[in-house]
A and B are shown apart, each in its own frame.
Chain A
Amino acid sequence: MKIVVAIKQVPSRDAPVRIAPGGMWIDETDLEWTINEPDAHALEEALQLKEKHGGEVVVVSAGPERVAAAIREALAQGADRGLAIVSDDLGARDALGVAKLLAAAIQPEAPDLVLTGLQSEDLGLGQTGVILAELLGLPHATLILHVEKTDAGLKVKRELEEGWFQSIEMPLPALVTMQSGCNKLRYATLMGIKRAKTKELRAVSAAELAENAAPVTTLDQISAPKKQKKTQILSGSPKEASAALVEKLRTEARVL
């Protein structure tokens, strides 16, 4: 089975977030970057499917040159090949614009399965995978916890709301977006990291793949969220703060 995994490089979870001058996006200097967590789970699912059924895992990522590091990490974990779609102004594209780039890169690969995470941890649009399926003309399923290959195609386990699940059967080729936490992520071994250096990582410029059409939606400004409530922060040593909190919960909130 040939599987393409679309991954995104995002600021690491604990990275400090500062609004850049102009208020259009965050200040990216000194940020640490990582593979978007749901995408890491999509990669893991792909690697497990390859271990079971054979085939090839190709990793695709779009962004500035730094995304090569995310692809190398995926190669070190066991992916076979990488494709970087290099663009310095990805932020000027909306979800459709980005999905068009990915579609143009993935189409010639003619994969049996495209996997990606259900959403990114930075923009959190949660729709790149679904749009990609539409552009590639593939059936899709979202919020998937497990992918099983069957004679007829795929059987996937989908998460519904409030603790419910559902199985969905679908033919191949198909696109599936994976839920975060659905499998146990592996670490790259030393051998894997060594091997990754010799694996193919091809770079194509975004301009070669798809023209930059005017976006339908734009992110015009970012801002710190307004507080929904006025939080009383209790300061002092852990002991002092705890005593003050218990007092507040008793006499003010009356919940103890």
Chain B
Amino acid sequence: MSVFLVLEESRGKISHPSWEALAAAHRLAPAREIVAVVIGADTEALAAEAATKSVGKVVRVEHPLLAPYTSDGFSAALYQLLQSQSPTQWVIFPHTYQVRDFAPALACRMGQVLIGDVTGIEDGPVFTRQLLQGRLNGSYRHHGSGPCFVSVQAGAFRAEALDTPANAGPAPIEVFTPTLDSAQIRTRPGEPFRESAQTVDLGSAERIVSVGRGIKGAENLPLVEALAQALDAELAASRPICDNGWLPLERQVGSSGHTVAPRLYLAIGISGAIQHLVGMKGSACIVAINKDPDAPIFEVADYGIVGDLFEVVPALTQAVKAG
């Protein structure tokens, strides 16, 4: 078979970005040639879930040393799996923090380079990914015999119509047991934790006013707070604002913060790096205020005002109140 699709687990189920990666895999090969790979210490339920999707086969890569996740463990196990197979053309992943941690090393071990964070696949195949914080797109190609490693950006492919199995009934499931030794696993990961209790619920907010680097300093935040209040909106921010401690981490929108989809998302002084866009592009109506007409935020915005936020925001607050 020609495509290996490495699925990722999230809270006992296969994560949504994994299914988006399956949609991307369908662009490269018919379903019967796609092998869905589940990996961990106990993969039975995950494999059963994967077998109901439009894949040709499911492989359970299972070993007690594969929980918790480590780069050393996952790289070694998947390397052995790929070596044991007849030539594979593609190895596809969702582009998650975990994949970023091990897939480049796995590719390197096979003399390959991951084409990461792919947003589109055109004929060729030519893979599109973003450059310069989303200001440009780049077209990438793979050369040589492969396999070619590709990770797929969250939200770039639609995880729909994947429930049709390639065969009648669920796809067959095989077990692959890698040879792992605890000495191979050099890092010792601890249990995941959160820093503090959450006091705002951005996920359920109807309207969000979000602020980015353009605000320049914490002393200017009252400007956007006034607008948020006038709109009866929650205040949120892009990463640099929270890194600087100007707003608490729980108000951060983006891949490292919250994913939100309010009815109205107003982005103020946010350029729209992809890490931010993945957290808000599902919003029903997006408004951007930015001094740079080429800022990537305008690619997803329904309405925009190109201008100095220090002039536009007070005027907008007035206009909302006047209405």
Chain B residues contacting A159 (CB-CB under 8 Å) are 97, 256
Considering the chains assembled together, what is the distance between the CA atoms of A253 and B285 in angstroms? 7
Contact assessment for A217 and B142 in the assembled complex, using a CB-CB cutoff below 8 Å: yes
**A246 CB-CB contact with B under 8 Å:** yes
Chain B residues contacting A133 (CB-CB under 8 Å) are 105
> B141: which of A127, A220, A248 is its contact (CB, 8 Å)?
A220
Chain A residues contacting B134 (CB-CB under 8 Å) are 225
Q: Chain B CB within 10 Å — which of A135, A159, A249 has the most?
A: A249
Contact assessment for A169 and B131 in the assembled complex, using a CB-CB cutoff below 8 Å: no
Given contacts A214-B143, A234-B305, contact A165 B111 (CB under 8 A): no
> A170: which of B186, B286, B305, B318 is its contact (CB, 8 Å)?
B186
Q: Which of B5-37 contact A (CB under 8 A)?
A: none
Q: Which of A223-255 contact B (CB under 8 A)?
A: 223-229, 231-235, 237-239, 241-243, 245-246, 248-250, 253, 255
Chain B residues contacting A249 (CB-CB under 8 Å) are 264, 285, 287, 303
Chain B residues contacting A237 (CB-CB under 8 Å) are 315
Contact assessment for A218 and B141 in the assembled complex, using a CB-CB cutoff below 8 Å: yes
Chain B residues contacting A234 (CB-CB under 8 Å) are 303-305
Give the B interface residue count (CB, 8 A): 96
**A110 CB-CB contact with B under 8 Å:** no
Chain B window 297-323, contacts with chain A (Cβ cutoff 8 Å), 1 for yes, 0 for no: 011111111111001101110111011
Chain A residues contacting B177 (CB-CB under 8 Å) are none
Given contacts A139-B72, A234-B305, contact A124 B190 (CB under 8 A): no
- Which of A56-64, A140-148, A188-196 forms contacts with chain B? A140-148
Considering the chains assembled together, what is the distance between the CA atoms of A182 and B96 in angstroms? 20
Contact assessment for B102 and A130 in the assembled complex, using a CB-CB cutoff below 8 Å: yes
Contact assessment for B264 and A255 in the assembled complex, using a CB-CB cutoff below 8 Å: yes
Contact assessment for B97 and A161 in the assembled complex, using a CB-CB cutoff below 8 Å: yes
Nearest Cβ on chain B to A33's Cβ, whole angstroms: 13
Contact assessment for A216 and B287 in the assembled complex, using a CB-CB cutoff below 8 Å: no
Chain A residue at minimal CB-CB distance from B294: A17
Chain B residues contacting A235 (CB-CB under 8 Å) are 306
Contact assessment for A166 and B193 in the assembled complex, using a CB-CB cutoff below 8 Å: yes
Chain B window 80-94, contacts with chain A (Cβ cutoff 8 Å), 1 for yes, 0 for no: 000000000000000
Q: Chain B CB within 10 Å — which of A127, A141, A164, A224 has the most?
A: A127
Nearest Cβ on chain B to A49's Cβ, whole angstroms: 19
- Which of B38-46, B112-120, B164-172 forms contacts with chain A? B112-120
Considering the chains assembled together, what is the distance between the CA atoms of A124 and B303 in angstroms? 28
Considering the chains assembled together, what is the distance between the CA atoms of A147 and B272 in angstroms? 29
Chain B residues contacting A169 (CB-CB under 8 Å) are 187-188, 190
Considering the chains assembled together, what is the distance between the CA atoms of A94 and B286 in angstroms? 36
Chain B residues contacting A225 (CB-CB under 8 Å) are 130, 134-137, 296, 299
Contact assessment for A232 and B109 in the assembled complex, using a CB-CB cutoff below 8 Å: no
Contact assessment for B116 and A126 in the assembled complex, using a CB-CB cutoff below 8 Å: yes
**B263 CB-CB contact with A under 8 Å:** yes
Chain A residues contacting B112 (CB-CB under 8 Å) are 96, 216
**A95 CB-CB contact with B under 8 Å:** yes
**A134 CB-CB contact with B under 8 Å:** yes
Considering the chains assembled together, what is the distance between the CA atoms of A221 and B240 in angstroms? 30
Nearest Cβ on chain A to B44's Cβ, whole angstroms: 25
Q: Which of B209-260 contact A (CB under 8 A)?
A: 231, 239-240, 243-244, 249-250, 252, 255-259
**A69 CB-CB contact with B under 8 Å:** no
Considering the chains assembled together, what is the distance between the CA atoms of A224 and B126 in angstroms? 16
Contact assessment for A256 and B116 in the assembled complex, using a CB-CB cutoff below 8 Å: no
Q: Chain A CB within 10 Å — which of B71, B130, B148 has the most?
A: B71
Contact surface of B with A, Cβ cutoff 8 Å: 71-72, 75, 96-97, 100-105, 107-109, 111-117, 126, 129-144, 148, 186-195, 198, 207, 231, 239-240, 243-244, 249-250, 252, 255-259, 263-264, 281, 284-288, 293-294, 296, 298-308, 311-312, 314-316, 318-320, 322-323
Question: What are 10 A-B pairs at a CB distance below 8 A?
Answer: A124-B130, A130-B104, A161-B256, A165-B193, A171-B186, A217-B143, A221-B139, A227-B299, A229-B300, A232-B302
